[in-house]
Amino acid sequence: MNPELPSTARAWAEHDPDPATKQEILALIEEDNEAELASRFAGPLEFGTAGLRGRIGAGESRMNRAVVLRATFGLVSWLKENVSEHPRVVVGCDARYGSAQFHRDAAAVVSALGGTALVLDAKQPTPVTAYAVRALDADAGVMVTASHNPPRDNGYKVYLGGDSHGSQIIAPVDAGIAALIATAPPADEVPTSQENIEYIDVDYVDAVVDKVITKSDNQDGLRVVATAMHGVGGATLVRVLTKAGFTNVDLVTQQAFPDPDFPTVTFPNPEEPGALDLALAKAREVDADIIVALDPDADRCAVACKHEGQWRQFTGDETGAVLGEWIARGHDAHPEASGTTLANSIVSGRLLGRIAAAHGMGYVNTLTGFKWISRAPELAFGYEEAIGFCCQPDLVRDKDGVSAALTLCHMAAELKKESKTLVDVLEELARTHGLYHTAPLTFRVEDLSILGAAMDKLRAAPPTELAGSKVVDIADLEKGGDLPPTNCLIFVTEDNDRVIVRPSGTEPKVKCYLEVVLPCSDEVPWDAARERIGLLKEQMKAVIGIA
């Protein structure tokens, strides 16, 4: 065994304030379990995109009380140096393993260091925390969540108030906080206090309903099936829909209440195959019109609707397009309203840009992540293909599954009066702008070095044609340009098809984002688009060369 490993682990255990995780490390030392100790002490859990995320367990490379205490010390220290000597910090959490304790620990550190912890009730949606930062004019917000990660993960997400308007943190703030976390004392020496803690409530439900619904005389004609995917969004979503006038709402009972094991799904993400099976069964049973599905922390929303007797689940890009069109029509009717820009990330589809141009609105293409999308100037709507939608940026500067679900239901109710569905809107967009059809392709790896090698291979020998069409443009975003540098390659063909390749920022994956564009007349060429996407998938599998 590496002679330094046991001493490093023992020093950590000596300062671990949690008896359970302390004993976990001591047992691994006693067992001489070098492999597991090396995994637990592979370096501090990195404070990066919006905060921390990792598997729950003992050690510096896991999510645990010691990591949360020291992270909060770093965050509050940064706020005191850069924002206020007495920062006000909203603290929220979901219902995952460890969330309630991490929630209490974060609040206690904020209090002890001279700040005021504005503590939301436990088991709240992430958008409620983001909303509270802005509504309460707080300096920052902490949300303990791992979104739709596997059951044994948790995380620590950070929002910034002031000029950031409750958006997730970006560089150089993240690096500044990380540097101060590194200077934090051992976890059992981080001060904690209960003196400056205020338990608060915010009017998120009223605010969202008032923004989305201008009248409620047509909502009761729509039959809605909703699922919370074993997360914290169910009660909030039902309250929102009920207040908005939707009286025919059926919540999928098997997934309605928080359960950190997510027992009915393989992976707690409504995009995953099979995740909506229970919702679809319920929808067929009650003859519903629409399904809205939240992920476990309710910041994402998937939608399916019944069209000509068949159920169709939308991709993130399809949902983003119909929402963007709906919000753009609202802008046409009320040009004086705040927000004149539609935005999405570079990995999302290009149809939103066409929609913006057609309605005389601005359009912004950003780097991946809502920390960038939310900062688009004069934002009216923003989305990312991974079913994240920001429908009310003046309330929540982040993706918000609850307000997206409400907007989709309101839209479906209005369309039903005309004997139309969301699919009709999607096909109308195809006839107007051409059919933009997208699909993901993901390669998971065990060895992280493969990610860099795959990108190097593509840079050295890029494809010259894709799906039978010559590649006419290659953009290497690592070289910078209009956007900050990022490890991403974009290939565009003569037929205007597009392939984007990037390593995941949070998981050991190479991710490809495929998009084909087909001209469209009265008949929308769905089959031809799927066939061409299939050709792109097979070709990229061969080009990247990862099984």
- The residues carrying an active-site annotation are 147
Tell me the three-class secondary structure of 321-385, residue by residue.
HHHHHHHHHHHHHCCCCCCCEEEEECCCCCHHHHHHHHCCCEEEEECCCHHHHCCCCCEEEEEEC
Structure tokens at 225: 């099936």
Distance between CA atoms of residues 56 and 154, nearest Å? 6
Q: How far apart are CA 166 and CA 140, in angstroms?
A: 7
Cβ proximity of 197 and 111 under 8 Å: yes
Enclosing H/E stretch for 159: strand 153-160
Q: Which residues contact 104 (CB under 8 A, 6 or more apart)?
A: none
Rounded Cα distance between 231 and 235, Å, is 10
Q: Degrees (nearest 5) of the Cα angle 376, 358, 344?
A: 30
The type of residue at 389 is F
**Distance between CA atoms of 346 and 513, rounded to whole angstroms?**
10
DSSP, res 184: P
Count the neighbouring beta carbons within 10 Å of the beta carbon of residue 460: 7
3-state SS, 459-515, equals HHCCCCEECCEEEEEEEEHHHCCCCCCCCCEEEEECCCCEEEEEECCCCCEEEEEEE
DSSP state of 56: B
| Helix residue spans in 31-162 (DSSP H) | 34-40, 65-82, 99-112, 126-135
- Give the C-alpha distances (Å, rounded to integers) separating 275 from 96, 183, 272, 307, 496: 18, 43, 6, 20, 33
**364 near 343, Cβ under 8 Å?**
yes
Distances in Å between the Cα of 266 and the Cα atoms of 9, 277, 444 are 33, 12, 17
